[in-house]
Amino acid sequence: MSDPPVRARIGPVLWAFVGVGLLATCAEPVYQDYTQRFPLGTQPETVSVPARFVGTADPFAGSAAESFNTLVEGYLDRGHGPITIAARAPAARGNSAAPARMEALRQRLVAAGVPASMIHLQLASEGQPDTVTLSYERYTAVLPTCGDWSTRMDFNPLNTDYAGFGCAQQRNLGVMVADPADLATMRRPAPSDTANTERVIREYRGVGLGLGGQPVATESNKNSLQSAGDQNAASGSTVGTGATGATSAR
């Protein structure tokens, strides 16, 4: 028996490929949200301000006070971790003014509103002998790059998002966010105030607090039947008051 012709053997294979292609075109495309196509990232950066001491003069006197105030405002607004006061370690013990200068800057930071527990003093082996550096860590947003208009917007039979859809939204969000660290992780919730929560609930329910903190019903603390009765008394109706509708005999 002779072998079938080549065309007869290739035909079923070609039809199989055609069928697979048709199924692939009918399959629903995988949807990817624009927040996944254009993710917002964060990266840490160190903000540092040098304080150069010349004799006993204040390193942040005059126009230099603005740099100190900017440092404190930036730390209180977006700083994470401690604020570090670093100076070069003295060559001989007790033969340096660095500890006194660091302590003076620490007291100045506390007076400016920085919590004392968040100030870290550090002696380093490197650095200028007459310079004390104040530094802290903050986060900046890594923004997506927009401007991809390669997709044909006049022909979109699958009604999919075009290439740059949502990029401007993500970029604007990254520019406007107060603290980019919030993009990486949520903030710790503040401790709840139980007394304030109870006060708000009592005011909402119309129950105030009298002498000794005892709850006192106010005029607004009426049930629905009482309120309906007051309204019906004015209108002459008995609907909603629980009355049967019978009138008294004269």
- 231 pLDDT above the threshold of 60: no
* Distance between CA atoms of residues 157 and 25, nearest Å: 12
> Could you tell me if 67 and 123 lie in one domain?
yes
Q: Contact at 8 Å (CB) between 87 and 128? A: no
Q: Contact at 8 Å (CB) between 102 and 121? A: yes
Tell me the per-residue pLDDT of 96-114, one tens digit each, with 9 for 90 and over. 788 888 999 999 999 999 9
Percent of the chain with pLDDT over 70: 68
Domain assignment of residue 17, yes or no: no
> Could you tell me if 226 and 165 lie in one domain?
no
* Distance between CA atoms of residues 131 and 59, nearest Å: 9
Model pLDDT, residue 241: 47
Question: 153-183 burial by CB neighbour count: b if 16+ within 10 A, else e?
Answer: eeeeeeeeeeebebbeebbeebeeeebbbeb
Tokens linked to 42: 């964060």
- Name the domain count of the chain: 2
> Could you tell me if 84 and 152 lie in one domain?
yes
Enter the pTM of the model: 0.60
pLDDT band at 180 (very low <50, low <70, confident <90, very high): very high
Among the listed residues 116, 115, 119, 85, the one whose alpha carbon sits nearest the alpha carbon of residue 102: 85
- 235 pLDDT above the threshold of 70: no
> Could you tell me if 199 and 182 lie in one domain?
no
> Could you tell me if 37 and 133 lie in one domain?
yes
Domain ranges, residue 200: 194-235
Last residue of a domain, one of 131, 158, 188: 188
